C-alpha cells in the first residue's frame, strides 16, 4: 500500500458525509449498475436530470475501503483533496498530512458528539444536513438553556471544521455551496 492510500484509509472524510452531502454521477457513470451494487442513486426530475446518491456512502466499509472501488463513479475517481495533493506533490510530508487528517477527524467527532447530545442520532445523514436540521429545530424555539449552550458549542465546532475543510481539503472547484 502506498502512502497516499494509507492517508485515505486513515481519513475517509470525502466518503462519510463529513465534507460532502452527496456524490453526483458524471459522464460514463452507469447509474443502473451502481444502483444494483447498492448505491441509492436518485435522478432529479428537473429539465436537466441529475443523478446522485447521498453520503455517508453506502459503499464505505468500516475499514474505510470502498466496496465498489472498481466501479466507483467519476467524482470518486477524480477527487483529490488539498491535503492529498500537497502530500503527493511533496509540498508537505505524509506524516504532516496524517496529522491534518487526524485533526479533522477529531473535529468531526466533536460535531457528531454534540449533535447526539442535542438528540440527533441520524448517523446515516451528512453532517451538514444534520446540522441544518438541528439549527432549524433550535430556531423554532422551545430549547432550554442547557440545549442552547450545547447548540452554541455545536455551531463553533461546525465552524472550526468548515474552516479546516476550506483551508486544507476543498479545492475551489469542489467546495460546496455555502448554506
Ligand atoms: S478527504 Fe482527502 S485524504 Fe481524506 S480520503 Fe478523501 S482524498 Fe483521501
Ligand atoms: S463509491 Fe466508494 S469512493 Fe465513492 S463515495 Fe462511496 S465509498 Fe467513497
pLDDT digits (tens, 9 = 90+) for 73-86: 999 999 999 999 99
What pTM was estimated for this model as a whole? 0.91
Q: Give the ligand at the shortest distance from the Cα of 17.
A: 2
Q: Does residue 151 contact residue 115 with C-beta atoms inside 8 Å? A: no
CA of 70 to the centre of ligand 2 (A): 10
Read off φ and ψ for residue 94, nearest 5 degrees. -65, -30
145-164 helix and 127-139 helix, angle to the nearest 10 degrees:
150
Query: Which residue's alpha carbon is at the smallest distance from atom 3 of ligand 2?
Result: 76
Give the model confidence (pLDDT) of 24-65 as tens digits.
999 999 999 999 999 999 999 888 889 999 999 999 999 999
Spatial contact of 144 and 134, defined as CB atoms under 8 Å apart: no
Residues 103, 105, 108, CA angle at the centre, nearest 5°? 115
CB of 58 closer than 6 angstroms to any ligand 2 atom: no
Amino acid at each position: 500500500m502506498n502512502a497516499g492510500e494509507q492517508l485515505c484509509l486513515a481519513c475517509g472524510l470525502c466518503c462519510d458525509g463529513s465534507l460532502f452531502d452527496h456524490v453526483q454521477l458524471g459522464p460514463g457513470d452507469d447509474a443502473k449498475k451502481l444502483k444494483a451494487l447498492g448505491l441509492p442513486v436518485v435522478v432529479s426530475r428537473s429539465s436537466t436530470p441529475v443523478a446522485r446518491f447521498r453520503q455517508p456512502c453506502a459503499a464505505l466499509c468500516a475499514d474505510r475501503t470502498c466496496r465498489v472501488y472498481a466501479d466507483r463513479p467519476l467524482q470518486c475517481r477524480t477527487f483529490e483533496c488539498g491535503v492529498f495533493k500537497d502530500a503527493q506533490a511533496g509540498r508537505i510530508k505524509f506524516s504532516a498530512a496524517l496529522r491534518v487528517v487526524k485533526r479533522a477527524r477529531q473535529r468531526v467527532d466533536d460535531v457528531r458528539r454534540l449533535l447526539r447530545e442535542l438528540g440527533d442520532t441520524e448517523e446515516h445523514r451528512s453532517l451538514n444536513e444534520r446540522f441544518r436540521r438541528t439549527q432549524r429545530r433550535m430556531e423554532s424555539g422551545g430549547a432550554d438553556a442547557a440545549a442552547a449552550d450545547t447548540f452554541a458549542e455545536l455551531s463553533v465546532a461546525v465552524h472550526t471544521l468548515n474552516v479546516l475543510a476550506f483551508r486544507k481539503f476543498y479545492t475551489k472547484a469542489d467546495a460546496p455551496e455555502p448554506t
